Amino acid sequence: MKKIIKRILIALTSIVLLFAAVVIIADKVIMPEVVDRPEVVVPDLVGMHKDEAVKKLEELDLIPVLEGPRYNNKFPKDHVIFQKPLKNTTVKVKRRIYLAISGGDPLVKVPDLEYKTLRDAKITIERLGLKVGNIREVRSEAKSGMIVGQNPHPGLNVEKGSVIDLKVSIGPNVGKVRVPDLMGKTLHEAERELRNNSLYLGKVNYQESPNLLPNTVIAQYPSKGTLVETGETVDVFVTKSSK
Q: What is the pLDDT of residues 195-217, one digit of tens each?
A: 888 899 999 999 988 888 999 99
Confidence of residue 55 (pLDDT cuts 50, 70, 90): very high
Confidence of residue 167 (pLDDT cuts 50, 70, 90): very high
Confidence of residue 45 (pLDDT cuts 50, 70, 90): very high
Look up the pTM and report it: 0.44
Give pLDDT, residue 180.
93
Q: Do residues 134 and 161 touch, judged by C-beta distance below 8 A? A: no
Please give the CATH topology (third level) of the domain spanning 37-104: Trypsin Inhibitor V; Chain A (3.30.10)
CA angle, residues 13, 16, 19, in degrees to nearest 5:
150
Domains 108-171 and 178-240 share a fold: yes
The rounded mean pLDDT for the chain is: 86
Give pLDDT, residue 173.
66
Average pLDDT of the residues in 115-129: 94
Helices (H) and strands (E) in the chain, counts: 5, 15
Give pLDDT, residue 113.
94
Q: Which residues fall within 8 angstroms of residue 149, CB to CB, at 6 or more apart?
A: 114, 138, 166, 167
Rounded percentage of the chain residues whose pLDDT exceeds 70: 86
Average pLDDT of the residues in 33-54: 87
Lowest mean pLDDT among 9-18, 138-147, 169-178, 224-233: 9-18
Average pLDDT of the residues in 109-133: 94
Q: Where are the domains of the chain?
A: 1-35, 37-104, 108-171, 178-240
Give pLDDT, residue 132.
95
Average pLDDT of the residues in 34-43: 82
72-92: pLDDT as tens digits = 878 988 999 999 999 999 999
At the top level of CATH, which class does the domain 108-171 belong to? alpha beta
Average pLDDT of the residues in 1-8: 67
Chain centre distance of CA 42: 35
Q: Do residues 150 and 164 touch, judged by C-beta distance below 8 A? A: yes
Average pLDDT of the residues in 39-49: 95
**CATH code assigned to 178-240:** 3.30.10.20
Is residue 38's pLDDT more than 70?
Answer: yes
Confidence of residue 117 (pLDDT cuts 50, 70, 90): very high
Confidence of residue 183 (pLDDT cuts 50, 70, 90): very high
Rounded percentage of the chain residues whose pLDDT exceeds 90: 56
Beta strand pairing call for 233-240 and 217-221: antiparallel
